[in-house]
Chains A and B, each alone.
Chain A
Amino acid sequence: MKSIAFGQYYPADSPVHKIDPRAKVILTILYIVCTFLCKNVLAFAALLLSAILLTSLSKIPLRMILRSLRPLIVILTFTSLINVFMTKGEHLLTPNWQIPFWGGHVWHIKIYEEGLWNALFMILRIVVLLIGTSVLLSYTTTPIALTDALERLMKPLKLIRVPVHDIAMMTTIALRFIPTLMEETQRIMNAQKARGADFTSGGLIRRAKSLLPVLIPLLVSAFNRAYELAAAMECRCYHGGKEKTKMKILHLRFGDVLAVLLIVAFGVGIVFLNRFGFYYTMK
């Protein structure tokens, strides 16, 4: 349960933490675009370098980032295997690899150089994607600042009557209560363990059943919490976004604009690097 990266704000004093959250959302989107622009070795090298630079700038320990990559191992192996075996190209690396079957059938294993490159690029792309988004957003931005930024960025949607404020408020509350509910779950689990509950042994059905004594009290308390929160908000005269002012008003600074400009320049640079036919270029 502790490996969930969502809402894992890591407090530190770094330039990445200081970027305006709105700028960070835009930066993240642009960075994702950059990862998909990369097509050859030079571009991917630049991308990897940028991810390393970003991480070191953010002062987040490498250990934490590696831990957030761990759940990806399965997906990475799977996609790279598919890439290795399914890509067809010109340079066959395994001309004589054959597996004989009964009845004289023979299965040719064909691995092309292009497949290996594709697999490598795919792994790099996914890893950098995750590092970029987690460093730029989840590790360095508090959930509250993030939803605040989203509300600001989605403001134009108000013209077509999208309830932007309500969506932002709901997201804030949901994010705010993830750690609380996790704590509550742990507490109830401990309480039931103290009465001899066993959550780890037995088959799937038995294990699912053994979770009932945790889920029922959790649901009950979640509903109670929701009622209490609603009452508390009403007591403070909350009635939606109308005429609501903000305590923390976001100010866009020169550094934020510079960061966005830098990443645009980085994207242009990657497009430029893609033109060099170095080793292999992805299609």
Chain B
Amino acid sequence: MDKIVLDHVSFVYNPGTPFEKKALDDVSLSIEANCITGVIGHTGSGKSTMMMLLNGLSAPSSGKVFLDGYDINSSFKDVFPEWLKKPEYATMRKSAAKKAIKAEVAKRKKTLCFRVGLVMQYPEYQLFEETVYKDIAYGPKNMGLSEEEIKERVYEAIRFSGLDESILQKSPFDLSGGQKRRVAIAGVIAMRPEVLVLDEPAAGLDPRGREQIFREICRYQKATSSTVIMVSHSMEDMAEYCQNMIVLAHSRLIAQGSCNEVFSNVSLLEGTGLDIPQITQLTRLLKQSGLELPEDVYTVDRAVELLKDLYQSKKGTV
């Protein structure tokens, strides 16, 4: 099922000035529910802009963004005639229905950022509270939840982030870079969003930190069966952790589909500054020189396994 659909979406920065810049150009795509989708593109390809459209932080210059089939930027006027036919409003008097629909549209707009949780690039710069606990509680507090509910969510979020609970009473400014990053992500997870959007969650972390963050995101996705969208420019990471992929280049959509579908069409990626993972390239080259290897090797672990098997079987025959 499609959770999010973008329909001919374009976005222009500073329209009508000499600084005008088209960041997204007629992008249409769909994002499947209950899996991890990777958005890949080079710097300036429009990835981050697209993420801001998903939770309504900015509205597209043209085109529509649908969440569960509802155009998130629709105004009261857009939906009124349509909704009036709905059974729950049809029985009301027209003035009452008008009021109810107005309230519903406003509510949807307000709760959108809680339904689609966005973790921006370098989210550690948004921490501001005295303690980690208070900072993670900021989102749930804005949702208007009770104290107990907030507490439960903060503890749940800190567990998902793989941090120790003792950290909750510390100041966020005393933490290391990687810890700050996790606290910031926990601050969004605590809102229990249906869709979690992460813009370069591993940027600037060392290899171990990267792996940990990605592992935790996968674990979180499995445990909550929510929809996760990750942005990255690293093909290696995306191939390892994502089920589906979206490739952007020069503000346009280049490819979308499962990892297999995207990587099997190498020619599409040419000229985008992106490439299939190095390990895939290597195994394909090995295959060309006569080794029996499949085309769809995207992770080093899998390649090692396959080569080991191959070695064992060869050893048997000689």
Residues of A within 8 A of B (CB): 10-12, 187-188, 190-198, 212-213, 216-217, 220-221
In the complex the two chains form, is B18's CB within 8 Å of A217's CB? no
Q: Which of A187, A188, A194 has the most CB of B within 10 A?
A: A194
Q: Please report the C-alpha to C-alpha distance between residue A211 and residue B128 in the assembled complex, in whole angstroms.
A: 11
- The secondary structure that dominates the A interface is helix
A10 to B125, CA, bound (A): 31
Bound-complex Cα distance A220 to B52 (A): 24
- For this complex, into which size category does the number of interface residues on chain B fall? 20 to 34
Q: Which of A188, A193, A217 contacts B57 (CB 8 A)?
A: A193
Is B138 at the interface (CB under 8 A from chain A)? yes
Q: Given that A195-B191, A196-B191, A216-B128 are known contacts, is A187 also in contact with B143, CB under 8 Å in the complex?
A: no
- Residue contact B120 to A195, C-beta cutoff 8 Å: no
A217 close to B128 (CB less than 8 A): yes
> Could you tell me the distance in whole angstroms from the C-beta of A53 to the nearest C-beta in chain B?
22
CB-nearest residue of chain B to A210: B142
CB distance from A55 to the nearest CB of B (A): 16
B125 touches A190 (CB 8 A): no
| Pair A191/B142 contact, Cβ less than 8 Å | no
- Sorted nearest first, the 8 A-B pairs with minimum C-beta distance are A196-B142, A216-B128, A191-B126, A195-B139, A194-B118, A191-B120, A213-B128, A217-B128
Q: Chain A contacts of B123 at CB under 8 A?
A: 191
Contact of B18 with A11 in the complex, beta carbons under 8 Å? yes
CA gap between A12 and B52 in the complex, in Å: 32
CB distance from A141 to the nearest CB of B (A): 16
Smallest Cβ distance from B54 to chain A, in angstroms? 10
Name the one of B125, B143, B173, B188 contacting A194, with C-beta atoms under 8 angstroms.
B188
Q: Is the CB of A217 within 8 A of B118?
A: no
Chain A nearest CB: distance from B180 CB in Å?
11
| Contact indicator per residue, chain B 172-208, by CB within 8 Å of chain A (1) or not (0) | 0100000000000001100100000000000000000
Shortest CB–CB separation between residue B38 and chain A, in angstroms?
20
Q: Is B10 at the interface (CB under 8 A from chain A)? A: no
